[in-house]
Amino acid sequence: MGKLGIHEHTVEIDGRSITFEAGTLAAQAGGAVVISLGDTKVLSTTTASKQPKDFLPFFPLTIEVEERMYANGRIPGSFFKREGRPSENAILVCRLTDRPLRPTFAEGLRNEVQVVNTIIQTTQVDPYDVVAMNGSSLSTMLSGLPFSGPVAAVRYAMLRDGSWVPFPTFEELEEEAVFNMVISGRVEDDGEVAILMIEAEATPDSWIKIDMGAPAPTEQVIGQAIEDVKPIIRQLCEAQQAFVEEVGVRDAGEYPLFLDYTDEVFDAVWAEGEAKVLDIYRQAELSKEGKDEAITVVRSEVVDAVVTAGVGDLGDDEVRKQASEAFRTTEKKVVRRLIVEEGFRIDGRSATEIRGLTAEVGVLPKTHGSALFQRGDTQVISVLSLGTTREGQRLDTLDPADEKLFMHHYNMPP
């Protein structure tokens, strides 16, 4: 059998083999790797623009997942026999990948970065999501971008006998698992494993399995599982690092960083505004609108004061711009301190209280079902339509499921 890489590295985790290959495919990309779990193969590539877009107030990172029907020996079912828009699952995998990756890039990076995961082979045995997540980290490290990786991801499933398995198959998730999590993390400079993201869900028929004697995923059980998965994250990170050292990092040169504000500007804003912001957010009797109005006034006062005082050699316009961003950070730090250190939320609730709840059914009597649910100022109106099985959605994806009988659509009102 042919190989997809000159360099190859395999790591064994609980009887599962994860293989990295590089050096053959996508040589013109900034970084490229083929990562395999069983018979599932994903080509991950990372490419960055040569020039930064310093006018953007955010990091222009794009994560894409491209499902190719040929990966499972199929022809797309559309009229033109080509893949169309990304499937719902592909979009969710993009989000899963973005969440742990985005904060590990250097702050202030403004070059466009595109990470593309192409599913090139699958037998519908293993989910490709965590494969793509690990591949995205590895290709980014190979690209030479300012990135605090590696980042590793593991799907960890609790079976009906109470045991936990990494990288469960579709069959295990469907038949045996009660609960599963996607956990991503990295190894910090002090050697500790830091968790960057956790996505958790119950599996199909989990309540039936629990009623039949399977253990429930209690808070204590899940907490222990998170600790148990840290050695796996460490093992994957070490494997990625070893592979990068073997292959070598592309010499991409220096990437300029455009910070929202300098330390001097933030210190000036903090000294001028921290106490004022704290005083406003401590006033639980103030309405949301009242707090917004008070914060707007204080923001203007603080920014004007910092501009008047001046900061180093920066011009007034630049100081004003940076001070506005620094004030936003000041707000975040103050609110976080109130919640974490004092258990005080800005509307006066404790950390364990929820907003007032109301619910009403039958608000649209001519529909099959309707309800209005409200929590505080947040509302949702849900409308249900019942149909026959013939009206189910036909799925044309790389997952084993070929139809969807429960469809949940979300629309944000004006």
The string of DSSP letters for 250-316 reads: -------B--SS-HHHHHHHHHHHHHHHHHHHH-TTS-HHHHHHHHHHHHHHHHHHHHHH--TT--H
Residue 383 to residue 413: CA distance in whole angstroms: 14
Please say whether the dihedral angle defined by the alpha carbons of residues 76, 79, 82 and 87, taken in this order, is positive or negative: negative
Residue 270 to residue 264: CA distance in whole angstroms: 10
User: Whole-model pTM?
Assistant: 0.86
Beta bridge partners of 18: 11, 37
8 A C-beta contact, residue 15 and residue 37:
no
Q: Provide CATH code, domain 5-247.
A: 3.30.230.70
Residue 369 to residue 362: CA distance in whole angstroms: 7
| C-alpha radius of gyration, the chain, whole number | 25
Residue 395 to residue 270: CA distance in whole angstroms: 53
Q: How far is CA 255 from the centre of its chain?
A: 24
Residue 178 to residue 173: CA distance in whole angstroms: 8
Domains 5-247 and 263-342 share a fold: no
Average pLDDT value over all residues in the chain:
92
Using DSSP's 3-state secondary structure scheme, residue 373 falls into strand
Please say whether the dihedral angle defined by the alpha carbons of residues 236, 237, 239 and 244, taken in this order, is positive or negative: positive
Q: CA separation (Å) from 195 to 11, 145, 230, 231?
A: 21, 22, 8, 12
> Can you tell me which residue has the tokens 């198959």?
169
Kindly compute the dihedral angle of the four CA atoms of residues 162, 18, 86, 200, in this order, to the nearest 10 degrees. 20
Domain ranges of the chain: 5-247, 263-342, 357-404
In this predicted model, what pLDDT tens digit does every residue of 185-234 receive, in sequence order? 999 999 999 999 999 999 888 999 999 999 999 999 999 999 999 999 99
Structural tokens at position 274: 């921290």
Q: How far is CA 372 from the centre of its chain?
A: 30
Please say whether the dihedral angle defined by the alpha carbons of residues 381, 387, 390 and 391, taken in this order, is positive or negative: negative
Residue 122 to residue 229: CA distance in whole angstroms: 25
Local confidence pLDDT in tens for the 414 residues of the chain: 456 668 999 999 999 999 999 988 998 999 999 999 999 999 999 999 999 998 888 999 999 999 998 888 888 877 778 888 888 899 999 999 999 999 999 999 999 999 999 999 998 899 999 999 999 999 999 999 999 989 999 999 999 999 999 999 999 999 999 999 999 999 999 999 999 999 999 988 899 999 999 999 999 999 999 999 999 999 999 999 999 999 999 887 889 999 899 999 999 999 999 999 999 999 988 888 999 999 999 999 999 999 999 888 889 999 999 999 999 999 999 999 999 998 888 888 888 889 899 999 999 999 999 999 999 889 999 999 999 988 888 877 788 877 888 888 888 776
CATH of 263-342 among 1.10.10, 3.90.1200, 1.10.3470, 3.30.450: 1.10.10
8 A C-beta contact, residue 86 and residue 67:
yes
Kindly compute the dihedral angle of the four CA atoms of residues 225, 231, 233, 236, in this order, to the nearest 10 degrees. -140
Q: Count Cα neighbours of 247 within 13 Å in the Cβ-side half-sphere.
A: 31
8 A C-beta contact, residue 307 and residue 320:
yes
